[in-house]
Amino acid sequence: MTIDVGRVAMIPVEKIIICDRVRKEMGDLDGLEEDMKETGLITPLAVQSTSDDNFILLAGERRFIVLKRHGVEEVPVRIYDRDLTELEMKVIEKSENFHRKDMEYWELDQLTLEIQKLQQEAHGVKASGPGEGWSHANTGQMLGVSRPSVSQAIMRAEAREAFPELFADCKTAADASKIIKKLGEEAVKQQLAQKLQAEATDTDFKKISDRFVIRDFFDGVKKIPDGIIHLVEIDPPYAIELSKQKKKDGESKYILDNYNELQPDDYKQLMPRLFAECYRVMADHSWLICWFAPQPWFESMYLWIRGAGFGTTRMCGIWTKGVPGQNMNPSTRLANSYEMFFYAWKGQPALNKPGSGNEFPCPPLPAQQKVHPTERPIELMEKIYDTFAFSGSRVLIPFLGSGNGLLAAHRLGMEAVGFELSKSYKDSFLVKAHKLFEK
């Protein structure tokens, strides 16, 4: 890959246009002016040429302001004649400013967040294990800083968006980090979600936020008429002390504290009742999907599904992750690299994708990107929903968790609704959904 040095020329100051840039605080312009009086303009400005013979400023705004103060009519610039992507513009601005002492810490944080977003739009989000996608570590390598530094900068940028008034007196990144630690991740998500809902103008975002219902499923399902649902997707509590296992796997305390675990005796009461309610609201020819822990619930789950009136098979659907999971006993046990779901039917429904296999390969989400301990990628849920249900189908999700099922159904043109007890999960869902609808 060659280095693009642009071309250097003298251009009129009046032809330079300043668009939206990360830097908001110009810092000590008087000090810069005195320095430039002694040394002159050592480094040319960076600009991009436009079709109307003007130039968009890419780097050097502070020097540009000082030059205009002194009535300079022409300035030396490095011109980029080719079209630049938004990411390339941010990278040029980063190269100019990232390690400068006179740039505010929060501007650097915002610049880091924007570069991360743009790179993920271009390359996708990096999942666990090998494969393509962009991660915090990639941004760190690009900016010459550590992965934790990138993660902290992004958290500060998001928190500042949610609580701008709390960061007004913060002079350093360390000051801002202390405030975030005091607030806690959950509070940041909550405030940001409230702000997004209050300011929402996208009708799809409003609609999908209303479909995430904070209510116990057994209360909410009473309002759903008989025989109208085409697909039910259930991700119930696993009754296997999942929180303890996930804590060992590195899940955050924020995620685990909001997960509702069940004791085995309660589980035995819950599942038959759950399947009976689902059977009632499902259409004559419809599908049911239920995730579960094979050990120890395989045979019990099979019998509960059959007992509710569904047809099913012991040849389950399988999500293959492509990477082994955590293994506490690697010398005596194989690491698990898949999850299973029963698929069941009421009546005699047809598959939307006839001839499909029962394996659904998809890399899992990295732990640091999850908001729920059993969160699955939206892309995986799209594949599964699209295999069973047609566009326009009505989807019921009794335990919403991360809410990714709502997003998958929306992408497929399906009408979905779901229930969840934890408002914290909805707050995280709204933040994520808003970012997706922005694209």
* 402-406: Cβ within 8 A, 24+ apart: 402/370, 402/371, 402/372, 402/375, 402/376, 402/428, 402/429, 402/432, 403/212, 403/429, 403/432, 403/433, 404/375, 404/376, 404/377, 404/378, 405/233, 405/381, 406/208, 406/211, 406/212, 406/433
Say whether pLDDT at 17 is over 50. yes
Q: How confident is the model at residue 200 (pLDDT cuts 50, 70, 90)?
A: low
For 7-97, CATH gives 3.90.1530.10
| Predicted local confidence at residue 250, as pLDDT | 46
- Token pair 């640091």: residue: 368
| Predicted local confidence at residue 240, as pLDDT | 60
**What distance in Å separates the CA atoms of residue 323 and residue 430, rounded to the nearest whole number?**
29
Say whether pLDDT at 324 is over 70. yes
- Among 68-72, 312-316, 361-365, 369-373, top mean pLDDT goes to 312-316
CB atoms within 10 A of CB 19: 9
Distances in Å between the Cα of 349 and the Cα atoms of 17, 148, 287, 357, 410 are 61, 49, 7, 17, 22
Delimiting residues of CATH 3.90.1530.10 domain(s) in the chain? 7-97
| Predicted local confidence at residue 1, as pLDDT | 44
**What distance in Å separates the CA atoms of residue 39 and residue 272, rounded to the nearest whole number?**
80
pLDDT digits (tens, 9 = 90+) for 103-121: 678 888 888 888 887 777 7
**Token pair belonging to 184:** 């806690």
CB atoms within 10 A of CB 319: 21
The SS3 of residue 262 is coil
pLDDT digits (tens, 9 = 90+) for 50-101: 877 788 887 777 788 888 888 888 888 778 766 666 666 666 665 555 545 4
**What distance in Å separates the CA atoms of residue 157 and residue 113, rounded to the nearest whole number?**
7
Q: How confident is the model at residue 130 (pLDDT cuts 50, 70, 90)?
A: low
Delimiting residues of CATH 3.40.50.150 domain(s) in the chain? 202-438
> Does 202-438 carry CATH code 3.40.50.150?
yes
- Token pair 């071309």: residue: 7
**What distance in Å separates the CA atoms of residue 121 and residue 335, rounded to the nearest whole number?**
32
Report CA dihedral (401, 407, 412, 416) to the nearest 10 degrees.
60
| Predicted local confidence at residue 3, as pLDDT | 46
| Predicted local confidence at residue 39, as pLDDT | 66
Residue 203 main-chain phi, psi, to 5 deg: -65, -35
**Type of residue at 430:** L
| Predicted local confidence at residue 389, as pLDDT | 97
pLDDT digits (tens, 9 = 90+) for 132-142: 777 888 888 77
**Which among 58, 113, 57, 67 has a CA at the least distance from the CA of 88?**
58
pTM: 0.64
**Token pair belonging to 382:** 């799209």
The SS3 of residue 160 is helix
As a whole number, the mean pLDDT across the chain is 82
Which residue has better confidence, 419 or 66?
Answer: 419
